[in-house]
Amino acid sequence: MFESLSEKLDVSFKKLRGHGRLTEDNVKDALRDVRMVLLEADVNFVVVKQFIKAVRERAMGQEVLQSLTPAQQFVKIVHEELVALMGGSLSPLDLATTPPVAILMVGLQGSGKTTSSGKLALQLKKKEK
């Protein structure tokens, strides 16, 4: 699922290449693509609307840093807003309770729950949990 999201977002970000700054038109086009990708991934409409608004406010007319292209600057803004949307901080698992500890994995079909569970199990095994 995340590969599909990444590929679709990459296509929209490529449209920003060759511009010296982030303008209203190119930000609008890129945000339309981002909105469609998120809605196709079953993200709640209200969440998408708030996310797009936050990205638009940060990106409008922002000067591109010398070391970044407009596409890279836009990706940076989208990344920072996604991190903020997801909680913004790392929360370790609370394994202090009496074993066994239940961990709920939730996601759409094909989104990587089994793979993530296997990787998590391996990490916990290495920590002797």
**2-85, which class in CATH?**
mainly alpha
Euclidean distance between CA atoms 54 and 79, whole angstroms? 12
Helices 70-85 & 24-40 angle (0-180, nearest 10): 40
Residues forming CATH 1.20.120.140 domain(s) in the chain: 2-85
What are the pLDDT digits (tens) for 50-108?
A: 989 988 888 775 655 555 666 777 778 888 888 888 787 878 888 888 878 888 998 87
Per-residue pLDDT band for 3 (boundaries 50, 70, 90) equals low
